[in-house]
Structure 1
C-alpha cells in the first residue's frame, strides 16, 4: 500500500482507510473492501493493485486521446493557428474560421516528436521538482501558521491590555472629576447655609427690636420700622424662593450605542498572497537553452525566428497585476501598463529594479517617442507625456478626436487610434496633423521607419494583421502569426518592428 493514500469513497464517508487498488472506471483510489464492491458491480469495474506498474496508464491514454471540451470526442485535427489539437466538434464550434486546420496524422509525420519529447521530459522533471518544493513549502506553512496564531494571540492580549488601561484611565478621570465637583458643591452648600444662618440671626434680632419699638409708643419710629421690616421680609422671601437645590449627576452614555461602536478588538482575515519563496525556488520559468531550441525544427514553430530570451512573473509588481501592453525604453528598461489598475511599472528586462508610477485612471497604451520621452494614452481623457529621466508625467493633452486608445511612434511620427475607425497623426502638443480611416476597430497598432502602419483588429476570431501604407492605402498584410499567439498583439518598441515588403 502507498503511504499517505486513502480510499476516495471512504473519505467521502468521513473515514480514512488505506488505498489498496485503483479503479480504472471510476479513476480513483479504493481500499480492499471497496475494491471488492467495485468488482461486483454489473458490469464489473476493472480494479488494479496500486503496485501494478500499469496502474493509471489507461487514464493517461484517455487524457491524450479525448478532447478536454467535448469529453466523448477524440482528437483528430490540429489547428496550427492556435497550436491546439482538437476534435471534430471543436472544428465546427470553435475553429470554424481558422484556415490552418489539418489532420493530426499528416501533421505528426512532419513533426520531429523526438526533440519535443526530450524538451517535455525535462520540463516534467523540472515541474516534478517544483511540486516537491511546493509540498515542502506547504508543509512548512502549518508550523508557520501556528507561530502566527501565537503572535496574533499576543497582539489580542496587548490590545486588551491597552483597552483595559484606557478604561481604567477613563474611570479614574471620572472619579477625580466626581471628587472635584463634590467638593465644589459641598463648599457652595456650606456657604449658602452659613449665609442663611446669618439671615436667621438677623431676623431674630429684628423681632426683639420691633417689640421694643412698639413698647416705646413712638408712632413715627414704629411706622418707619414697619415699612423697613416689611420690605426686608419681602426681599428675604424672594431670595429664599430663588434658592437652588445643589446636586451632582452622572450622565451615562447609551450602552447600546457604546457597544455598537465597539463591536470587537479587531478582525481576523485569511490572506492569500504571492509566495515569494516559491517563486524563487521554481525552475520551470527558465528559458530553453540554445541547444534545446536548435533541436526543434518544426516549421510551424520556428517560422518567424522568435525566441524567448528572458521572462519573469508579474507578481513582482504586486497582487492581481495583469500586463498586456508596454514598450522598450532607454537604459535597457521596460515601461509596462496594468490593464486593470491605475499604475505604470518601469523595470529592467529581467524584472528587477521595479519603479511604480500611480496615475489617476487606468492607462490604455504606451509608446516610446524618443530617448527621453514616452506617450501614454488614457482613453477619453487624452494622453500624457512621460519624462523617462525623472519618470514624471506631464499634464493631460486632448487632441480634437473622440478618444485616445492604441498609440505608436516612429521617426518622430505619433499615431493614435481614436476609437472610431480612424487614426490621427499628432505632434507632441496634441495638434492633429493628419487623419486616416480604418476598415476595422483597432486593438493594437505599430509603425515602422518607412511610414507603414500595422494594426490588429479588436474583432473576435480575426487574427489578421492589417497594413496602412504611407499614402493611406489599407490592405490585409499576409504576415506570419505564430500559432502560440492566440490573440495577435503588437508590442510597441523602438527596436522591435515589422518591416514592410
Structure 2
C-alpha cells in the first residue's frame, strides 16, 4: 500500500544503489569509508549495523568474530544509513602499548582491555571468541552515562581516601615526634640525678630515640610522596574525563574512563600499602634499679612504643543484595541474632516464630530450620557445623549441629539467669544476662571463669561481640557500649545516641552497632574516639554481623505488618 507523500523504494542496480535522478541516495561500504575508500554497498550486517562492499561482505562471512552475524544481500538491505547507527568519528590517536604502529580501536568486554587490530587478531579470536567491539560503535553511550558518573565518584572517593591517609599519617607523626621530644626531656631530667658513669648509656638511648625519629620522617616522606602523586594523577584523570565529556569527545572519554578504572585499582593498592605503615608513640620509663644501685645496672631505661591508629578507616557501604523473608512463616520473621558459618551459610534466630534458620545466601532461601518451645534470642558459631543459641526464658543455652539441609539438637546447658547475647571465641563463651544484669566468661561446658556485674556497669546487656583483645557489650537501658578485657576489667564506655541493639566487630577492631529506634547502623573505633553512621534508613535493624572474608555487613529489616521483612547485605571494598 502506498503512503501519501512518500515515494516507494526502487529496486537497486547491481553496483550503484541509487534511487531517482535528482534524489539519488547512494549507500557505500562503511568500513572502507573509514579507510578513505568509496565503494558501493553490496550487503548489510544487522549485528554491526553497517553496509559492506562485496569484499568486506565476503570477509565478514569468513572472520571468526563475524562469521555468525546476520547478513542481508543488496536487495534486502536498508537503502539508507540509519542515524541511530551513525558512529563517532574514528580519529584514533592512542597508540597500542604492545604494537606501537597500531592505534587502539577496539575494546574487549571479557578482558576489559583496550586493543588494536593486531591485539584482536592475535589474542582475542580463540574459540569461543571474545566479545570485542569497535570503539565508535559503543563509545557514544558513555556521554553522561552511569559509568561516567561512577568512575568520577570512585576517583573522588579514592582521592579523598588518599588525602585522609596523608592527614592521618601527618597527625600521628606529630604525636609520635612530640612524645619522643618529651621522652628526651625526661631522659635529661633523669640524667641529672645520676653520675658521670652513665654518660655512655645516656648517649645510646638518645641515639635510639633519634633513629626512631629519622624512621618516622622517612615513613612520612614516603607516604607523602605516594599520596601526593596519587592525588595529582587522580585529579589529572578526573579533569581529563570531565573535559572529554564536556566536549563530547566520546572516544577519548571512553579510553580515559578505562584507563581511570585500571588506575583506580592500581592506586587503591598503593594507598592500602602506605596505610599499613606503623607509627608508634613513645615514653621513657626510668630503670628503678639504676636509681637505687647505679653501679650494678647496664641500662638507662627503655623506649616503649604504643602503635597509633588513624581515624576510622574510610568505608563506603552500598546495598549489595536482599533476601526476602516474607510469607515463609505465619508470623513476621523478627531476627534477633545472626552468625555466618561459611561465606554462603547464614544462621539466624527468629524470635517471633521461635525458630533457628539456615539461610543459603546464593539461593536466597531458608534451607533448614528448627523450632523451639521458647523464644530464641542470639546465636554464635562454635565451629563450621555447630552453633549455640540463647533461650532467655528457659534459662538455657542450646547447642545444635548444622548440616547442609538439617539442624539437630546436640545438648543443652542450663545457666543461672535470662541469657541474651552470646559470643564464642577461642574455647570460651561470653554471655550477657538481663535478669540479673551481668556478663559471664565461661567454658563451653558451663564452667564460669569470670563474672562482671553491678548497676553502674550494666542494667540491660543484650548483645556481645569479642576479639583477641577485648569484649564489647551493648546495654539497651543505659544506652552504652562497654569495652572489657578478658580479665573482666572495664576499659571504656561509649554513650550511644539511641538504644543500641546488635553489634559486631571487624578484623581491624571497628565495632558496628545497630539502632532499632532510629533505623541506622553506626561504626565506632575500638577506642571510642571516632564514630560515623554507615547505613541509614533501614527499618528496625535488630541484629548485625560482619564478614571479614567478603567485606560484607549483614543486618535485618522488618516492621510489625510484615511488609518490610528482609535480610540485607551491604558491601564495602575496604
Bucket of the pairwise TM-score, normalised by the shorter protein: 0.3 to 0.5
Q: Larger strand proportion, structure 1 or 2? A: 2
TM-score normalised by length of structure 1:
0.36
Pair member with larger Rg: 1
Scaled by the length of structure 2, the TM-score of the pair is 0.32
Structure that is richer in helix per residue = 1
